Amino acid sequence: MLRIPATMLRRSSRGYCVSKHGTALPKRRISSSSLIDIAPEVRETLRHTPQLVVALESTIITHGMPYPHNLDTALEVEQIVRQQGAVPATIAIVGGRIKVGLAADQLRLLARNDSGTQTLKTSRRDMAYVMATGRNGGTTVAGTLLVADAVGIRIFATGGIGGVHREGERTMDVSADLIELGRCPVAVVSSGVKSILDIPRTLEYLETQGVCVTTYGSEDCEFPAFYTRSSGSKAAYNLTSATVAAKMLHMNRALGLGSGILIGVPIPERYAMDAAEMNAVIAEALGDAERKRIQGKEVTPFILSAVSALTRGKSLDANMGLIKNNAHVAADIAVELARLENGSSEMERKDDTSLAADGAGAPLIIGGSVIDICISVLEDDLKLDGATYHAKQDSSAGGVARNIAEGIYKIYGNVNLISAVGNDQNGVHIRKLLPEHCASSIVTLGNCPTASFTVLLDRKGDCQLVVGDMEAHKAITPDWIKSHSELIQQSPMTVIDANISEAAMITVFEECIRYNRPVFFEPTDMRIAARPFYSDNAKLTILAKRAIKFISPNIHELAQIAQALHYPGSIPTKSMNEYGTVNELLADVRPLGLFVSETIDHVLVTLGHYGVAVFRRTSPTVPFFNSAHQYQPIMDGSGTQGRFYPGRKHAQIVNVSGAGDSFTSGFIAGALAGRSEPVCVNVALEAAGCALQSRGAVADQYFNRTHPCWLNEEGAPFRPLDQ
């Protein structure tokens, strides 16, 4: 590392001091850490590997996009950062407190602006007022830079920065973003300067502030203009890769320069807009702003809104596309910076966290996509007599296969889903919950609505009626599956739910046997849990026994499967609520699990709040997959071993509907990462806990590979279930 003389650093006007190792450290400019609340995940990462944290601004949520696009984009941007192996830290002010890392409910609060008072656009000048009055604030680039630097975050992803406004030589309207870039040694990854501004003068001003301006992946150093890939202005340098960018960030810190770096990433071509069209639209929007006397910090959100209207939403799509791409680039640089400054251990983490990012190791999920509708009656004495009752209705995306696919995507990083939806708004909504490349194998039906599942609850919350329209599932035909056989061939594992037809199951089993790929069967419901093992369909049963290597039933589904496999003992009939103790429950589960595991290699029995029982013909230290994502068949020939992993207590449970599916998602993510059984169960239980605290079946966000559930090699504690 390059050493800078301490005397030089002490004389610096940039506010730097010297560490005991002689390297430059920033002098924090928010005087009291008691003013900042840092999310636990972010705090732990800053403590151990601060290079992995990527700051995200919140003005894009509060003032940059309409609801619900702002919330959807914010959640997806955070997930993109996680998938690349970094940790997102969205920065905002909530209730007069600076927040570094927002929970899903806080993101939703800012996106909807439900607080009753206006959320303020917050730059450096506004921060004291917003906090003193207990308001909510969406931090601008300048405000976010100030906080990021204060807590030690080195990389920041945004859409576009502010700059010198057009006619700035007359109005002196210059964004504080430029000043703060000159003060904070933070790298800002953006699609350049917003094209509504004077870009040449902005670049000149940045040079005066000592800010190094580069492009990323633009050989001719053509600086981007937000909506368009070219502004007509040139940057000083071009960074060819995340590794090169990380080296520059490292040297900027080692030199103690005290100023930031602006990395201009061109908007992806598929989202880029025509420059001539945008210039005309911007000119019209600027004229409208002048006529309406829009001034100060209200100018930019006004013009962005006007541009979106004038382009009929195309600019909004461009805005969403570029910020996601910038988050991807920033996370890649963060991971490379961690590797550079912390050695090979971080490279190993990079390989681990991004093992599915390029499509390798992406599991294939086949089964139902559903819209779950919950109707809660608000009156007493509900009777199914045809009368009208006042009720509250909630709807969310569901379906076992779809839930598992979304969970795996959010935890593991990539997935493919074969499913069917209608050509309706529900189908559009379901498709949007996965990126296009993951959902490309979903068939859209022209003559059938998206499957739906409606539950009627009385005022006490008890279920009175359940109805479902599952006709769409029939579109998952053998021919449709065969047309995507390359996904089975490329996938390390195929997961199916019990909603697909027996003919479709046979096709899946045949293809998986052909390519030597394991099947994970999710039983879905006790009435259909044993479908692959029906004795009156000999071909299906034979193929199922050969292909299915994993299964995740609850006790009732386990009983149905054991019965279909001709279990010689008596089948328990108690409901979960009738078991007084966990030992009483395990006494019924153990013989069933041991029996079924003679046919299926890995039996994971979910036991609600009690925990999970695992039955395998091998020890818990043996991983399910190797580092190349290849399934490891059981070879040791030992008898079945049963292990019980206790559940975890949760202070608040919002929804139980998706916990089992999230458990499966977490377990598969751990298995494909080559982890041992206890670690896989640990990850699975953590994922289930996230779902329990979410309103939807799938949590808004889970955790990345830096979470302790991944890092404990011993994993979750268990006790053996003696043979």
Confidence tier at 29 by pLDDT (50, 70, 90): low
Q: Residue 568, CB half-sphere, CA atoms under 13 Å: how many?
A: 2
Return the structure tokens found at 490: 């490329």
Residue 492 has pLDDT above 60, yes or no: yes
Please tell me the predicted confidence (pLDDT) of residue 594: 95
Helix pair 299-310, 314-342: axis angle to 10 deg: 120
**What is the average per-residue pLDDT within 13-30?**
42
More confident residue, 689 or 458: 689
Closest CA to 182 of 145, 155, 153: 145
- % of the chain beyond a pLDDT of 90: 51
Q: How far separated are the first and last CA of the chain, in Å rounded?
A: 58
Residue 228, beta-bridge partner list: 225
Please give the positions annotated as active site: 57, 194
Residue 357 has pLDDT above 50, yes or no: no
Please tell me the predicted confidence (pLDDT) of residue 173: 74
Pairing of β 602-606 and β 611-616: antiparallel
Tell me the one-letter amino acid at 198: D
The string of pLDDT tens digits covering residues 588-618 is 999 999 999 999 999 999 999 999 999 999 9
Return the structure tokens found at 474: 């029939």
Report CA 162 to chain centroid distance, whole Å. 28
Closest CA to 544 of 568, 566, 513: 513
Cα–Cα distance for residue pair 163/181, rounded to 1 Å? 11
Of 125-134, 341-350, 358-367, where does mean pLDDT reach its minimum?
341-350
Please tell me the predicted confidence (pLDDT) of residue 361: 65
The string of pLDDT tens digits covering residues 186-207 is 999 999 887 778 889 999 999 9
Provide the sign of the torsion angle of the four alpha carbons 422, 425, 426, 430, taken in this order.
Answer: positive
More confident residue, 619 or 115: 619
Confidence tier at 13 by pLDDT (50, 70, 90): very low
SS3 516: coil
The string of pLDDT tens digits covering residues 76-92 is 899 888 878 889 999 99
Confidence tier at 32 by pLDDT (50, 70, 90): low
**What is the average per-residue pLDDT within 265-269?**
91
- In sequence order, the 6+-apart residues with CB closer than 8 A to the CB of 290 are none
The string of pLDDT tens digits covering residues 643-685 is 999 998 877 777 777 899 999 999 999 999 889 999 999 999 9
Please tell me the predicted confidence (pLDDT) of residue 455: 83
Contact between 251 and 259 (Cβ < 8 Å): no
Return the structure tokens found at 4: 């800078």
Please tell me the predicted confidence (pLDDT) of residue 390: 87
Contact between 176 and 142 (Cβ < 8 Å): yes
- In sequence order, the 6+-apart residues with CB closer than 8 A to the CB of 2 are 251, 254, 255
